[in-house]
């Protein structure tokens, strides 16, 4: 079936818009050449091609009225087509304006425009005249593009105007209408993937900085409209004023042999593997993790006994573990408008030193944006269920989320053996997730426990046992740093864990079979956000301190006391070895005596005022640096 003249006309107009957006992307590139210096032409061309996906989604959102009107206004209606031409230009003028503004604005914030309309909208409105005068030259390409759009706007050809309606034109129009609706929905979603297109998806291409080039400012601004505004924090008058209270700890300087073979790094993020389920962290009582317990008490292993997750959701764990970014706002970083903010992850940092980096996730590609954030963190490769042999058709598929832990960890081992060293590999398991399924041959084999999760924790522990049994036979094992931790806690049957502190209590185990780890205080307060600094400390890369965020520190740093940060309800919490500090949404500070995984309901009645001020200011400084740093994209400045 040949498309009707109305559909052909609409397609020609959209083709013109895609061409103009490619010109806008070229302008963005030329105005920000230093950002993309050293990147090859092939990668740049791929970013332009990748950007078409974001252009289509943004243009469809802007031009939905045009699409509808194009289906209703007859091609032969000359005046109606002139009105469509005017609508065509008016609808797309705001998009042109946003992208041209970003040619210069990107230099200041290091990311595309997004939620500025509700964060600093009043300031921008007050300074609009001054800004417009200063950057008057941007009006030239803007007006040129608007004129180009009007002048080149496709109009009906004489043949299309004169074409008679066929006998079955109403049937054709109905079919075309249904096809257009389907294609528009597909374009708005950005494809067939599990989740609608996200801003962070642009950063899957490496180097991740090309994500800014692939995006367009229309898309990033539109994506920010449905977000709850993040309010700027002003506990301190400036960043300089808060820095003394921030408590940032630099990496220790260690003298390592210059000829030392670089360690591989394997980070195992274990789904819902809470401290409550282990025996080693509960005096040997109960527990569903006999292998983990034996690994944690083996010679040379380092189990941090007072470790806490920075959040209570899987989606919050990855930024903390791979980039040292805790979760201190209501919305997870991965789904927020800050996806395009400057973030340096372990993948990027170790990639600079010749490491081959990859993230493995046994779940569906796109789940919780893990594949997207892997790219943001600089991971060169991502492996999800689609890359697993057989995918969802494999007998190892659990029927819900992805591949069962045991076969996936064996696959992970084979992949590591085939990977060029040195490598950084992170794996996220999934079997101990609701609906808590174990493979059929194992049903009834594990302790039933009191909660549905307990048998799946025991299964995950078995999968770990068999992974390490296989890995020990591989040549890379002896010079690999292993880090095992959990993404968050889950179901609880122990009252002592049922409090804000206990709900974040997770294991942190470090193991390096080939040589001893640096000495450490096993009762130091630690958190997920300490992983990047700890890895760089062990690898002897203190020069990369500039790419670490100030929230975490190395677990081997004897000069800093260690801490943990998290948000629970409407309060922020700071964990030290003597007190847990709560900062309420009314700026009230409360201190609770610290005990491992236990926090009483009532705060200390008459705390030391100096300590209240010290810990309260430290927590305020962390919150302000985090929130305002994301708003201004200045976490590293």
User: Given a cut of 80, is residue 634 above it in pLDDT?
Assistant: yes
- pTM for the whole structure: 0.77
Q: Comparing C-alpha atoms, which of 615, 630, 362, 397 is closest to residue 487? A: 362
User: Given a cut of 90, is residue 475 above it in pLDDT?
Assistant: yes
CA 273, CA 275: separation in Å to the nearest integer?
A: 7
pLDDT digits (tens, 9 = 90+) for 37-66: 888 899 999 999 989 999 999 999 999 998
pLDDT digits (tens, 9 = 90+) for 544-565: 999 999 999 999 999 888 999 9
Range 142-169 average pLDDT: 77
Contact assessment for residue 75 and residue 8, using Cβ atoms and an 8 Å cutoff: no
CA 272, CA 278: separation in Å to the nearest integer?
A: 12
CA 217, CA 27: separation in Å to the nearest integer?
A: 13
Which residue in the block uniquely carries the two structure tokens 């949404």? 585
pLDDT band, residue 196 (cuts 50/70/90)? confident
CA 532, CA 292: separation in Å to the nearest integer?
A: 22
pLDDT band, residue 524 (cuts 50/70/90)? very high
User: Given a cut of 50, is residue 494 above it in pLDDT?
Assistant: yes
Contact assessment for residue 99 and residue 24, using Cβ atoms and an 8 Å cutoff: yes
Q: What is the pLDDT of residue 533?
A: 97
Q: What is the pLDDT of residue 120?
A: 47
Other beta carbons within 10 angstroms of residue 88's beta carbon come to 22
Range 474-502 average pLDDT: 94
Q: CATH assignment of 264-501+528-559?
A: 3.40.720.10
Mean pLDDT of the chain: 89
User: Given a cut of 80, is residue 194 above it in pLDDT?
Assistant: no
Between 20 and 116, residue with greater pLDDT: 20
CA 387, CA 362: separation in Å to the nearest integer?
A: 9
User: Given a cut of 80, is residue 615 above it in pLDDT?
Assistant: yes
pLDDT digits (tens, 9 = 90+) for 182-192: 777 887 787 77
User: Given a cut of 80, is residue 124 above it in pLDDT?
Assistant: no
pLDDT band, residue 417 (cuts 50/70/90)? very high
Listing DSSP states for 81-144 in one string gives HHHHHHHHHHHHHHHHHHHHHHHHHHHHHSS---SHHHHSHHHHHHTHHHHHHHTGGGHHHHHH
pLDDT digits (tens, 9 = 90+) for 71-93: 877 777 778 888 988 898 999 99
583 forms beta bridges with 572, 589
- Which range of 159-168, 196-205, 553-562 scores highest in mean pLDDT? It is 553-562
pLDDT digits (tens, 9 = 90+) for 564-588: 999 987 789 999 999 999 998 889 9
CA 360, CA 368: separation in Å to the nearest integer?
A: 14
Domain assignments of the chain as residue spans, ordered by start: 5-223, 264-501+528-559
pLDDT digits (tens, 9 = 90+) for 313-351: 898 999 999 999 999 987 889 888 788 888 999 999 999
Other beta carbons within 10 angstroms of residue 46's beta carbon come to 15
């Amino acid at each position: 079936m040949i498309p009707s003249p109305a559909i052909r006309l609409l397609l020609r107009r959209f083709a013109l818009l895609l061409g103009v957006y490619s010109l806008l992307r070229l302008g963005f590139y030329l105005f920000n050449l230093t950002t993309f210096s050293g990147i090859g032409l092939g990668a740049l061309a791929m970013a332009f091609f990748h950007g078409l996906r974001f252009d289509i989604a943004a243009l469809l959102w802007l031009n939905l009225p045009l699409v509808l009107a194009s289906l209703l206004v007859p091609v032969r209606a000359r005046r109606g087509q002139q009105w469509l031409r005017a609508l065509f230009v008016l609808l797309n003028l705001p998009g042109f304006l946003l992208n041209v503004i970003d040619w210069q604005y990107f230099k200041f914030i290091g990311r595309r425009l997004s939620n500025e309309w509700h964060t600093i909208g009043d300031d921008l409105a007050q300074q609009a005249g001054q800004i417009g005068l200063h950057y008057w030259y941007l009006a030239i390409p803007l007006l040129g593009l608007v004129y180009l759009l009007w002048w080149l706007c496709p109009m009906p050809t004489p043949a299309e105007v004169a074409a008679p309606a066929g006998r079955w034109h109403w049937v054709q129009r109905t079919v075309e209408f249904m096809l257009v609706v389907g294609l528009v929905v597909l374009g708005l979603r950005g494809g067939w993937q599990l989740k609608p297109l996200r801003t962070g998806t642009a950063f899957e291409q490496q180097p991740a900085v090309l994500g800014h080039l692939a995006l367009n400012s229309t898309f990033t601004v539109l994506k920010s409209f449905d977000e709850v505004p993040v309010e700027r924090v002003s506990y301190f008058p400036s960043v300089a004023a808060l820095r003394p209270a921030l408590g940032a700890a630099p990496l220790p300087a260690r003298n390592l042999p210059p000829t030392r073979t670089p360690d591989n790094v394997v980070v195992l993020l274990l789904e819902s593997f809470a401290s409550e389920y282990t025996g080693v962290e509960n005096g040997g009582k109960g527990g569903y993790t006999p292998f983990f317990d034996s690994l944690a008490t083996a010679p040379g292993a380092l189990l941090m006994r007072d470790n806490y997750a920075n959040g209570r959701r899987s989606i919050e764990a990855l930024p903390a573990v791979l980039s040292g970014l805790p979760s201190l706002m209501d919305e997870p970083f991965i789904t927020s408008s800050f996806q395009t903010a400057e973030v340096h992850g372990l993948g990027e940092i170790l990639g600079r030193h010749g490491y081959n980096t990859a993230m493995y996730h046994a779940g569906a590609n796109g789940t919780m944006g893990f594949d997207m954030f892997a790219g943001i963190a600089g991971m060169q490769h991502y492996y999800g269920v689609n890359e697993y042999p057989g995918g969802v058709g494999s007998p190892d598929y659990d029927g819900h989320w992805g591949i069962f832990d045991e076969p996936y960890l064996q696959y992970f081992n084979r992949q590591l053996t085939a990977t060029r060293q040195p490598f950084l590999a992170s794996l996220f398991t999934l079997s101990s997730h609701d609906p808590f399924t174990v493979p059929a041959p194992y049903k009834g084999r594990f302790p039933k426990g009191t909660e549905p999760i307990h048998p799946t924790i025991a299964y995950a522990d078995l999968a770990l046992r068999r992974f390490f049994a296989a890995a020990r036979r591989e040549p890379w094992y002896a010079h690999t740093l292993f880090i095992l931790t959990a993404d968050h806690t889950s179901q609880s049957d122990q009252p002592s864990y049922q409090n804000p502190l206990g709900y974040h209590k997770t294991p942190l185990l470090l193991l390096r079979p080939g040589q001893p780890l640096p000495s450490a205080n096993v009762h130091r307060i630690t958190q997920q956000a300490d992983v990047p600094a700890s890895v760089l400390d062990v690898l002897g890369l203190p020069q990369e301190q500039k790419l670490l965020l100030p929230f975490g520190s190395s677990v081997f740093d004897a000069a800093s006391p260690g801490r943990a940060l998290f948000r629970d309800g409407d309060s922020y919490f700071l964990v030290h070895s003597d007190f847990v500090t709560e900062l309420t949404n009314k700026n009230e500070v409360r201190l609770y005596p610290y005990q491992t995984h236990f926090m009483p309901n009532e705060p200390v009645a008459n705390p030391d005022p100096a300590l209240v001020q010290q810990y309260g200011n430290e927590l305020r400084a962390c919150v302000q640096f985090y929130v305002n740093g994301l708003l201004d994209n200045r976490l590293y400045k």
